[in-house]
Amino acid sequence: MAKQIVVIGAGPAGIEAARTAAKAGAHVTLVSDAPVGGRAGWHSLVPSKVWLNTADLMGALGDAAAQGVDVADVRVNAPNV
């Protein structure tokens, strides 16, 4: 009879634990009160990385302007970031 395992949390560690247990033949139940990927992925770490990448890109465009590339009309559309 296969082991029955409950994994609490669907963040990166919980997903990996569930995947490993399932590959080993266990019946796995994954329980989470947050979206799959964990809270950090949806509410803090990843969204902040998007803004950091956007800032880096805007900085690079400023450097391009100093090299003669016309980037005068480049804007960040914040709701779409």
Residue 14 scores a pLDDT above 70: yes
pLDDT digits (tens, 9 = 90+) for 42-69: 666 666 777 777 888 878 877 777 778 7
Residues 3 and 20 in one domain: yes
Extract the tokens encoding 6: 């409950």
Query: Which residues form the domain of 2?
Result: 1-38
Q: How far apart are CA 78 and CA 27, in angstroms?
A: 43
Residue 35 scores a pLDDT above 90: no
- pTM greater than the 0.85 cutoff: no
Q: Residues 16, 22, 28, CA angle at the centre, nearest 5°?
A: 90
User: How far apart are the two ends of the chain, measured CA to CA in Å?
Assistant: 49
Q: How many domains does the chain have?
A: 2
Kindly report the number of other CB atoms within 10 A of residue 72's CB atom.
Answer: 6
Average pLDDT, the chain: 81
Residue 28 scores a pLDDT above 80: yes
